[in-house]
Amino acid sequence: MWLVCAWLLARTSVPKLHLSGLDQRRFFSAGLLARSERYTRGSDLLWLAGEVATLVALAVVARVLPKRVRGFGLGRVGSSIIVAMVLLVTLWFVQLPFGIASLWWDHHYGLSKFDVGAWIGMQWGTLVGEAIAVLAGVVLLVAFAGKFRRTWWVFSGMAIVAIAALFAFTGGYIDAAGTHPLRSATLRADVRRLEAIEHVRGTPVRVQKVSNLTSQVNAFTSGFGPSRHVVVWDTALDGRLSHAEVDVIIAHELGHVRSGHIVKAIGWSALVVLPTLFIVALVTRRRGGLANPASLPLAFLTLAVLALLTTPIQNYVSRRYEAEADWRALNATRDPAAARGLFQQFARTSLEQPNPPTWDYVMLQTHPTLMQRIAMAQAWAARNRP
């Protein structure tokens, strides 16, 4: 049943295409390729160092903290909240220097401003929500583990999926806060036309100001049902992209809406959460399971290791969905030249490496490579040649 559900969720509307064999030097200058390679190499090293530091910190906490939990004297739920807060604060401080180093690396390559205060303020805004979600999840897990000693992971998994669905739904409204509508009448008309083609009429497309923090171009889809929104960064509208290239970005995001990728992501969370919690239950059983708050550090470490090990699968699914959004954008705009131009621009605006190393592609790339995306535009043009 698990395999059947995974197969159904992984299906997309993209036909079988041959997306390899193009020479990146046909589309990108030697100087840009060398610059993007240097930038990617530094970013990859920072990511790897951050992951190692996180796992080491969790291993140390898992060894030291359980001995002190008994002295808290706050009961099962109270002690679990304290342990979770210690873990969250530890992780935040461990990851902080790597976040600042990444910010500096982006600034060094002209991709962002090195404003640590503004960056921390932005991180703090997301951290509060994440901390509340994690603490609520920990209380839920411990409560279920105390009531259902051997099957807590089943009930907890169902509850976590329900909470994830709620967050995904409300996230559409939250992400739209602080944004403004498209000011260009031409773009608004294009949105209405693309929405009709994609059969997603009434999807709000709004603009988020990020130009005070970064020069990179991005857009994203948030929420589902009545909360669905498409949010475009204002950096995409600063004149560096052509009107047709902006249309491709909007069509891509509307393609996500048409394909229901956020709802499918909730389906994937259901498939992943249950076996993940089952493994956590097995690993922590000797320490009394999650009914014992002292087992929480080991549970966090286990989750971190599992997240790292399953990253290639998560990225593979994400790349399939992003490829489907690209294909839908090509069908909606019928402008492969604009799509190709947009992907070439991404190498300049974000220093994205057109053909990254294999390990980088497997572990870090949530989108098809720029060369794969350009090859798709070429393949679409060949299939639809008059």
pLDDT, tens digit, for every residue of 213-251? 899 999 999 999 999 999 999 999 999 999 999 999 999
Q: Residue 369 is encoded by which pair of tokens?
A: 């490579």
DSSP-derived secondary structure letter, 37 = H
Mean pLDDT across the stretch 337-350? Answer: 95
Q: Is the pLDDT of residue 141 over 90?
A: no
Mean pLDDT across the stretch 174-197? Answer: 94
208: enclosing H helix or E strand: strand 205-208
368/330 Cα distance (integer angstroms): 15
Q: CB within 8 A of 207, min separation 6: which ones?
A: 179, 180, 181, 182, 183, 231, 232, 233, 234, 237
The four Cα atoms 261, 263, 265, 266 give a dihedral, to 10 degrees, of: 180
183/17 Cα distance (integer angstroms): 38
Q: Is the pLDDT of residue 125 over 80?
A: no
Burial 153-163 (b: 16+ CB within 10 A, else e): bebbbebbbee
pLDDT, tens digit, for every residue of 280-305? 999 998 888 888 888 899 999 999 99
Beta strands at 180-181 and 205-208: parallel, antiparallel or unpaired:
antiparallel
Contact 268, 11 (CB under 8 A): no
CA distances for 269 relative to 42, 159, 272, 274, 275, angstroms: 31, 12, 5, 9, 10
Mean pLDDT across the stretch 105-127? Answer: 83
